[in-house]
Chain A
Amino acid sequence: MMATIRESLIVQQERDLVVCRNRVKEVAVKIGMGIVNQTKLITATSEIARNMLIYGGGGVMRLEVITRGKQEGIQLVFEDKGPGIADIQKAMQDGFTTGRTLGMGLPGAKRLVNEFTIQSTFGKGTTVKLLKWKNG
């Protein structure tokens, strides 16, 4: 049986985005995820990790290979202790931004994965969870 993959990567500077993207790609290839799903997941990773860096002041990405029934996939949890998001509904709208990004990150990333949850406490931090099935 393949050893379970469960690890954490620190996102503290721009270069870490590349490290996160590459690690997600490696794991996706390892579990046999197709190229389109891989590309979608890596792109979503890049969006959320960048948001965490720019708006959350950096944080941690937890990567885990999970199975549910016959399905296998990758779960990514991005956690920062930044200022939090004042209005999540607004932040999930296409084109809404408070900074120098395009405002496509959160809503775009949501469209690219199978499961997406976001929790944010104003003043305490934000947690975004992504799940992409191998064949999903």
Chain B
Amino acid sequence: MEKIPILKMGKFLLVTIQVDLYDRLALTLEEDLIEMVFKTGSKGVLIDISALSIVDSFMGKIIGNIAGMSSIMDAETVVVGMQPAVAITLIELGLPLSGVHTALNIEKGMALLQSRMKADLDDDENDGDD
């Protein structure tokens, strides 16, 4: 069965969607990602959608699910590389992807995850002082 590869990069997981995303494949990705977050204890998930020419309501729902589930598993999700036309379409479709972090590209997405992890660590240290 076709699968979208999930790469481990340090504390983060990286997914680059390079194929036509049909529904079953999206559902499989959702399951695989959550499993990987659990197995690796990753603190962040980066999903690169720069090769996707559309995001419809089903794919939007899957992205939202991944973000929600990761969050319960103490990991953050950042979606990067959305095409401008896809962003315009998503808003008119009525799917603002609220609750999902986004960044322009992988570099910025990685920086965002790192800064959020650092903020978490600082919080922990402050907790220790109390």
Contact = CB atoms under 8 A, between A and B. Distances in A.
B95 A42 contact: no
B85 A36 contact: yes
A21 interface: yes
A36 B90 CA distance: 11
A40 B56 CA distance: 10
Given A17-B22, A36-B88, A43 B94 contact: no
B108 interface: no
A86 interface: no
Interface in B33-60: 53-58, 60
A107 B20 CA distance: 24
Q: Is chain B's interface secondary structure helix, strand, loop, or mixed overall?
A: helix
Nearest to B92: A111
Contacts of A101: 57-58, 61
Given A18-B20, A18-B22, A50-B23, A39 B56 contact: no
Nearest to B60: A102
Interface of B: 20, 22-24, 53-58, 60-61, 83-86, 88-89, 92-95
Interface of A: 14-15, 17-18, 21-22, 25, 35-36, 38-40, 42-43, 46-47, 50, 94, 101-102, 104-105, 107-109, 111-112
Nearest to A39: B85
Nearest to B24: A14
Contacts of B58: 46, 50, 101-102
Nearest to A102: B57
B94 A104 contact: yes
Given A14-B22, A108-B93, A108-B94, A39 B53 contact: yes
In order of increasing CB-CB distance, the 9 nearest A-B pairs are: A39-B85, A108-B93, A46-B56, A104-B57, A18-B20, A36-B85, A43-B54, A102-B57, A35-B85
